Amino acid sequence: MIVFNTLTRKKGELIPINDNLVKMYSCGPTVYSRAHMGNMRAYIFMDTLRRVIKFNGYNLLGVMNITDVGHLTSDADEGEDKMEKAAKKTGKSPWEIAEHFTDLFLKDIARLNIERPEVIAKATDHIPEMLSFVEGLVEKGYGYETSDGIYFDIAKFPSYGKLSGNSHLDDNIAGARVDVNTEKHTPADFALWKKAPKEHIMQWDSPWGRSYPGWHIECSAMGRKYLGDTFDIHTGGVDHIPIHHENEIAQSEALLGHPAVNYWMHVEFMQVDGKKMSKSLGNTYTLDELEEKGYSPMSFRYFCLNTHYRKKLNFTFEGMESAKIAYSRLKALVDESKASSQQADEKIISEFKENFLNAVNDYLNIPLGLGHLWMLLKNPPAKNIYEAVIWADKVLGLSLDKDESSELTIPEEVKAIAEERLAARKEKNWAKSDELRNKLSELGYMVKDSKDGYELEKK
Ligand code: AMP
Ligand code: ZN
């Protein structure tokens, strides 16, 4: 299995520390709001990697964190705590916000066939582990105290910046922002621990008074707790390379005296009009919004799988439409083979299996794997073709064995409006009927009236 390592900038064989167990850590969501489809691209990548690892016969121990404290509005530790900000805005407690969005996140990933990692670790459940990590760093001279927290001194860690190639040592403090923290030794020094102002709801006792963890420390501390001092793979989005993951590397290596992670793997952005899909740019979509427009979770998954994870993926509704059509065609072809009692030549099957395995093992070339699948399905339908598809679907996770295509499902909301319109027509209330037709149209549906009822079609 060939993988690309961001740290070495090279492709190479994945060689796990333990013969048949791969240990992997994935940066998870900050649960202050609903995860969007850009985030979901990152978790579909994580899931695909997990599936390919298992496909190769390895056991897997995967950890994903849930950030429910300490992630400030800028990844570089400036601004407010995202959880507290959301709490203030809604009048709920940060704990309630965290529970609500964690729950939604776990439901969303299940709808996208993203398997839950073996361990889901919440930051607030690991305060003692984080605190002792920071105390260790301070004892070793890597952490220093300022009036608002404990900071990591990047100048004491000479290889700082090795993941991104930017050491940040020359960053100009005056050129940065108005509210720069001038007590820092170097502008890019980052917060290990933050002293809590009175109004900060989430706070704990520490040697430095009431306080709360910085964002980066949770991943170092929880990764170590569940996966040990050195583990195989760490994943995240490319936005984490220059700050969050540099900081994780610095914290862990400074404390342990050796690298904690062997392979760093990062997924490229999902973009909208050339810009990262992100909450701050206001260009996000959620899974519910896609479904309302008639796109199922599986067509989104197909949309993602069709582009290599290291390429930028532009989100467009034309792209979603093509993915939706392709997925339902694929599904229809698979169903034909499922229903068939014929057998294809075994050579066709074994060639497909070899090609598919080679593709996914060549640093997760899933688009090529899908290409081989389409080629296989060009053959006349056959039972053993169906069996081979289901074998490949262990990697793809596209529910190709499910009977009914969820693509054909019309959202409940749309159905309800159509029924209401039918009732209005029966009552000859044409004004209301027209009004409801417009409403359906706004939701992306055309309604065709027939003698006894209607048919709905996606526009
Ligand atoms: P966050 O909740 O902001 O910490 O992000 C959760 C995960 O989603 C991280 O691994 C990010 O790198 C990733 N991510 C955020 N936005 C995008 C995007 N537009 N495309 C791909 N991954 C993203
Ligand atoms: Zn992380």
pLDDT digits (tens, 9 = 90+) for 100-131: 999 999 999 999 999 999 999 999 999 999 99
Say how many Å lie between the CA of residue 42 and the centre of ligand 1: 6
Q: Which amino acid is at 267?
A: V
Beta strands 59-66 and 261-267: pairing type?
A: unpaired
Strand, coil or helix: 331: helix
Tell me which of 53 and 95 has the higher pLDDT.
Answer: 53
Greatest extent of the chain over all pairs of C-alpha atoms, in Å: 81
Tens digits of residue pLDDT in 310-347? 999 999 999 999 999 999 999 999 999 999 999 999 99
Check pocket membership of 278 for ligand 1, CB cut-off 6 A: yes
Of all protein residues, whose CA lies closest to atom 12 belonging to ligand 1?
237
* CA 313 to ligand 1: nearest atom: 20
pLDDT digits (tens, 9 = 90+) for 9-67: 999 999 999 999 999 999 999 999 999 999 999 999 999 999 999 999 999 999 999 99
Ligand 1 atom index nearest CA of 235: 10
CA dist 154 and 350 (Å) reads 53
Ligand 2 center–CA 85 separation, angstroms: 20
Give, using CA atoms, the residue closest to atom 11 of ligand 1. 237
27 lines ligand 1 (CB under 6 A): yes
Is the CB–ligand 1 distance for residue 239 below 6 Å?
A: yes
DSSP 316: -
pLDDT at 75: 78
Q: How many angstroms does the Cα of residue 306 sit away from the middle of ligand 1?
A: 19
Q: What is the dihedral of CA 316, 318, 322, 328, to 10 degrees?
A: 90
User: Given this model, what pLDDT does residue 404 score?
Assistant: 55
Average model confidence (pLDDT) for the chain? 93
The residues, ordered by sequence, that sit 6+ positions from 58 with a Cβ below 8 Å of its Cβ are 16, 20, 21, 22
C-alpha span between 234 and 223 (Å, rounded): 9
Cβ of 42 closer than 6 Å to ligand 1, yes or no, is yes
212 close to 194: Cβ distance less than 8 angstroms: yes
Which has the higher per-residue pLDDT, 131 or 87? 131
> CA dist 180 to 1, 183, 189, 190, Å?
45, 9, 11, 12
Q: How far is CA 162 from CA 87, 124, 248, 264, 320, in A?
A: 37, 29, 12, 12, 37
Q: What residues contact 25, with CB distance under 8 A and at least 6 apart?
A: 62, 63, 64, 65, 219, 222, 223, 226, 227, 231, 233, 234, 235, 261
What is the spatial distance between Cα 459 and Cα 449, in angstroms, rounded to a whole number?
15
Neighbouring residues of 186: CB distance < 8 A, sequence distance ≥ 6: 153, 154, 155, 168, 169, 171
CA angle 130, 224, 116 (to 5 degrees): 100
Beta strands in 313-430 (DSSP E): 313-314
Q: Token pair 């929880």 is at which residue? A: 222
The arithmetic mean of pLDDT across residues 390-408, rounded, is 83
- Which residue, by CA, sits nearest to atom 17 of ligand 1? 38
- DSSP secondary structure string for all residues of 211-246: EEE-STHHHHHHHHHHH-SSEEEEEEEGGGIIIIIH
DSSP single-letter state for residue 160: T
**Listed range (62-76, 173-187, 258-272, 304-318) with the worst mean pLDDT:** 173-187
Q: What is the pLDDT of residue 377?
A: 98
- What are the pLDDT digits (tens) for 292-302? 999 999 999 99
Ligand 1 pocket mutation pick from 239, 244, 304, 307 by most atoms within 8 angstroms of CB: 239
The answer to whether the beta carbons of residues 243 and 27 sit under 8 Å apart is no
- Which residues lie closer than 8 Å to 363 by C-beta, 6 or more apart? 2, 3, 4, 11
Phi, psi of 62 (to 5 degrees): -115, 140
Beta-bridge mates of residue 393: none
Q: Which pLDDT value is given to residue 375?
A: 98
pLDDT band, residue 373 (cuts 50/70/90): very high
244 Cβ closer than 6 Å to some ligand 1 atom: no
pLDDT at residue 409 is higher than 80: no
* For range 62-89, the mean pLDDT: 87
Helix (H) or strand (E) holding 121: strand 119-122
Assess contact for 309 and 45: CB atoms under 8 A: yes
Q: Does any ligand 1 atom lie closer than 6 A to the CB of residue 149?
A: no
The pLDDT assigned to 177 comes to 46
Complete edge-to-edge strand list for the sheet that includes strand 211-213: 143-146, 149-152, 190-195, 211-213
Mutate to test the pocket of ligand 1, among 6, 39, 77 (most ligand atoms within 8 A of CB): 39
In the prediction, which pLDDT does 240 show? 96
**Residue 180 confidence class, pLDDT cut points 50, 70, 90:** low
Indicate if ligand 1 lies below 6 Å from the C-beta of 219: no
User: CB of 307 closer than 6 A to ligand 1?
Assistant: no
Cα–Cα distance list, 38 to 269, 279, 283, 390 (Å) = 7, 10, 10, 28
Strand partners, 59: 21
- What the block records as the tokens of 59 is 């056991």
Ligand nearest to the CA of 309: 1
The reported pLDDT for the residue numbered 172 is 59
149-152 and 270-272 beta bridge pairing: unpaired
Q: Is 70 in the pocket of ligand 1 (CB under 6 A)?
A: no
Question: Is the per-residue pLDDT at 178 higher than 50?
Answer: no
How many angstroms separate the CA atoms of 23 and 116, rounded? 14
pLDDT reported for residue 88: 86
